[in-house]
Structure 1
Amino acid sequence: MSIRHSLLALLQDQPRYGYELRVEFEERTGAAWPLNIGQVYTTLERLERDGLVSKDGDDGGGHVVYSITDAGLAEVGAWFEGAVDRGSPPRNEIAIKLALAVTLPGVDASAVIQAQRDVSVRALQEHTQARKAVPANQRSADTALLLVLDSLIFQAEAEVRWLDLCEARMVQAQAKAGEANPA
């Protein structure tokens, strides 16, 4: 996730200080990916170093207000115009855990799959309930929340389907092992 570009996008709306950016980001994304305030300020320092934002003084309450520069506008415009690179997938802890579980002796991979399925189904149910709770008279903030919730629902559905496939592959592998080593 590009915090850098997200903060630039929010700053093109209006100048803000770090905490405001954090709150605005979480409101617009349904708080699905909470930001650490330290990460926000570190990112703002880098954006300033790179000439993409500038300090506009403070708000009178001691908060440093940042605004986007022309270079920052160009950067965020290019971000919105381009697609997200899917070339190098992020590490998937569940896939790593299962790959190790099926290759190490003494690990009950079926139990690992079932435990994860329980968590994934629960997440799917929670996201679906949250989706149903969004009012029908949508504002733009509701549309943003719906997009995030739909993404989370599809991810959880895909994860449950993938866990089903993992279980089926394990059954196949056990059947093949039984054929190769008849008692």
Structure 2
Amino acid sequence: MSIRHGLLALLADGPRYGSRLRTEFEARTAGTWPLNIGQVYTTLGRLERDGLVVRDGVDEAGHVLYALTGAGRAELRAWYARPVERAAPPRDELAVKLVTALGAEGVDVREVVDAQRRHVTQTLHDLMRRRAQALARAPEHPEETARLLLLEQSLFQAEAEVRWLDHCEARLLRLTREPGDPAGNPEG
């Protein structure tokens, strides 16, 4: 979620001031996307400049309230209707590490793969434990649903990374076989 559209989504529920938007954004994203207050006010300034929000008075504590405009509501609807484009190819430190390890002197890329797999496997165990805890609380606490969805996204991404590491290991084994080795002995 972009900060811009996240703030628009929160403002769809009614006027808010900056620090309340920050608190609600972090609560909705289950703390996985912390914001600093400067980001919030910079984004609100741009949204106001673009005609998507307006200042809507001041609350009893003196906070400036922001509200969606008609254009802001239309932009929010359009955002919900658009699929999210994934950057291709993504900038991924692990991928860069593996491809640079391939030609690096004194580096066994299979050890790099194994170290990452051990790390991700530990992360998977932790995510599964946290998911079980969230599932146990979810029926009584509907606000746990956002946390659960984000945990499951992380869990699925970790599972995909393990599958990719398995694929990398298999590819490396095939590439290190000596030509003419019918047994496919990777020791060659």
Q: 1:136 and 1:43, CA in 2 relative to 1: closer, same or farther beyond 3 A?
A: closer
Q: Which residue number corresponds to residue 142 of structure 1? A: 144
1:14-70 CA deviation, whole Å, 9 max, x = no partner?
A: 222222222212211221222233222221111111111112233343433211111
- DSSP-derived class of the 1:96 partner: helix
Matched, 1:111 2:140: no
Matched, 1:156 2:158: yes
1:173 deviation in Å? 1.6
Q: What root-mean-square deviation, in Å, do the aligned CA atoms of Structure 1 and Structure 2 show?
A: 2.3
- The amino acid of 1:160's aligned partner reads V
Matched, 1:123 2:161: no
Q: Which residue number corresponds to residue 22 of structure 1? A: 22
Distance 1:125 1:46 in 2: 42
Is contact 2:138-2:145 (8 Å) kept? no
Q: 1:88 and 1:63, CA in 2 relative to 1: closer, same or farther beyond 3 A?
A: farther
- DSSP-derived class of the 1:31 partner: coil
1:5 deviation in Å? 0.8
Q: 1:41 and 1:126, CA in 2 relative to 1: closer, same or farther beyond 3 A?
A: farther
Matched, 1:68 2:68: yes
1:134-165 CA deviation, whole Å, 9 max, x = no partner?
A: 21415542222222111111001101111111
- DSSP-derived class of the 1:61 partner: coil
Which protein has greater RCO, CA pairs closer than 8 Å, 6+ apart? 1
Distance 2:100 2:36 in 1: 31
Q: Which has the higher helix share?
A: 1
Distance 1:66 1:169 in 2: 54
1:119 deviation in Å? 2.5
- TM-score when normalising by structure 1: 0.85
Q: 1:138 and 1:158, CA in 2 relative to 1: closer, same or farther beyond 3 A?
A: farther
- TM-score when normalising by structure 2: 0.83
Q: Which residue number corresponds to residue 10 of structure 2? A: 10
Q: 1:101 and 1:58, CA in 2 relative to 1: closer, same or farther beyond 3 A?
A: farther
1:176 deviation in Å? 4.1
Q: Which residue number corresponds to residue 36 of structure 1? A: 36
How many aligned positions are there? 180
Q: Which residue number corresponds to residue 176 of structure 2? A: 174
Q: 1:178 and 1:4, CA in 2 relative to 1: closer, same or farther beyond 3 A?
A: farther
- The amino acid of 1:30's aligned partner reads A
